[in-house]
Structure 1
Amino acid sequence: MLRLGPAPDRDLRLGTPGGRPDPGPPGRGRLHRPGAGGPTIRRHPPADPDVAARPARRIHPAAPGRDLPARLLLLDPCRGLAAMAAQIRGLADTVGARHVRIVDMGGDILAHGDEETLCSPLVDALAVAACTLAGVDATVYVAGPGTDGEIPLHVLLDRLAGARHLTPTARDADTAGTALAWHPSEASALFAAAVHGARGTVRTVERLIPLTDASARVYELGLDEALARNTVARHLLDACPDTLDEAADLAARLTGIHELDRERRPSSDPARPPVASPGPHATAQETMALIRERAPEATHATYRFAARALGLDWHHIPALRTLLKADSPLLTLR
């Protein structure tokens, strides 16, 4: 996600959406204008206005655009690195932005590529490489280091040594509260919970993640510093791939992780199946007991993990929160 300044009323959020059944982000070629039942995406020129995602893609960018205090736009990486850089440069010129802020949740934007728990290095590497190629003045912010579970916290803190940091307030985290009520972003939920003071061990869909004081911080680096730490970004900049597939192939050769191929494969559910699903008339106490049984070693759990452990999918998270009368970013288990 990128944030362009200079003024609050001229801020932008840029993201690259993903989803099935087609691997990777939809790109301009798989979007159409409203009228066929899809949600509207607000865009700023030079991108096409009022573009809608096809319903089969299950992309709902209008909802975060509605819930976040900024304009939301989508970058299209499908036409390669140079085209992505041109989009960033064009958007910055259009709104008169003097600075680009690249915001990464968790810290995998600093990946070397050989981390055992790394799972999604491509998008962050594309953002760093594209901003470098665009020649824009940019800063990289790592929010909630370690909360995405891709690079261990102690490793990230070594790479962030000497970087300036700040700790947002609970009020800051609450600005995303509406989106977190329905969107299953585990890393964002861990960061928000840490800002609110939660500490301990969180059970996510993939693994256990510690919450510490560092989990509540935002670290600031220069674009050149981030580029120096990101192996995939440097190679992307050298190769300047013409398509997203070429970029994914290059990242796979460096890291062993091919994100598009992974999306082409049937999904698997890492959460353990429940011993017994809660019945249609299960109480909040019975439901919580089943979640605690699935995460005996954790002090907290994400709603996404809780839903999967109960045999549900992420669309049921709002109903689960209502049943449990839960309004915090994470479920407290202990």
Structure 2
Amino acid sequence: MPITVKELAVLCGARIEGGDADQTIHSAADISSAKAGQVTQLTSAKYAVHLQQSAASACLIGEEFTTQEVPESLALLVCKDPELAFIEAVKHLHPERVYTPEIAPQAVLANDVTLGESVYIGPYAVIGEWTAIGDHSAILAGAYLGSNVKIGKHCRIHPYAVIYDDVEIGDHVTIHSGAIIGADGFGYKFRNGAHVKVPQIGNVRIEDNVEIGANTCIDRGALGSTVIGTGSKIDNLVQIGHNNKVGRHVIMCGQTGVSGSCTIDDYAILAGSSGIADHVTIGKGAVVLARSGVAGDIPPGAQYFGSPAKDKKTAYKEQLAIQKLPDLIKKIKKLEEKLLELEKKP
């Protein structure tokens, strides 16, 4: 939705320096490619060189930045938090698609489905019996909801997401395409030369304001619930095993795998490709760095790295020591040669 620089400044709580306050802004772009009629942001000094040659009409910038040689046509929108302000600008200029409430004729709804106000059900979506969908939620084309599923208000289930029976989802939850919520947990007992499946009769409970990425799998509990706490954000291609308890505002990056019965406490971060063994606790605010393998508990606020994961400082020292090994080996060989020469002398 187009907006003038002046209106954008009001929206973002910014003051205008230079440029044309009446210029119309129609879209947002990154600082290296922004053109006339676009707004961008500068949040790091290393990108300031792009600002000097930018064709953008407006740039959100922090109060602590000092800039020189800014084009006359560029309006600086100075504010306390340019990143958050830019998010608001993008949301206004590129609003999320709104679905007109309707039930597509190709959708399949079982008996006893309960729909709230202004619900959208797309073509070929399948809704199981006794399922309830809250006000203003959208179930997009080809999504599957099993029996006795509860979807809260203002949710969006993207195409071809699969939600198994008995899953409970709160308000303002987004589940992207290909995600599978509530499949059986991976539980077996080895008896008489064969793997015997442990029945998985629990469910998944997702609290408010959660976003789950494409092709992510969250397994149901074996007996109780697998829980994803309020405000947590889960990337694409993440595997969360059965009976995990994920706290509030947790971040899980792509290709992370969490085994069963773990506790991931509030505000923890699991970086890309990290792996967590079963029955592990990740403390509040702890960070597991990329490609780390965690086999034991991590205390609150700690940062762990490596496989097996250790405190970041210890792990980095070990990595530096490993880098020195080739030189140390050469020195040892030279010392061995000198010792041999000394031993040969009478």
TM-score normalised to structure 2 length: 0.19
Relative to its length, the structure with more strand (as a share) is: 2
Which structure: larger Rg? 2
Structure with greater helix share of residues? 1
TM-score, normalised by the number of residues in structure 1: 0.19
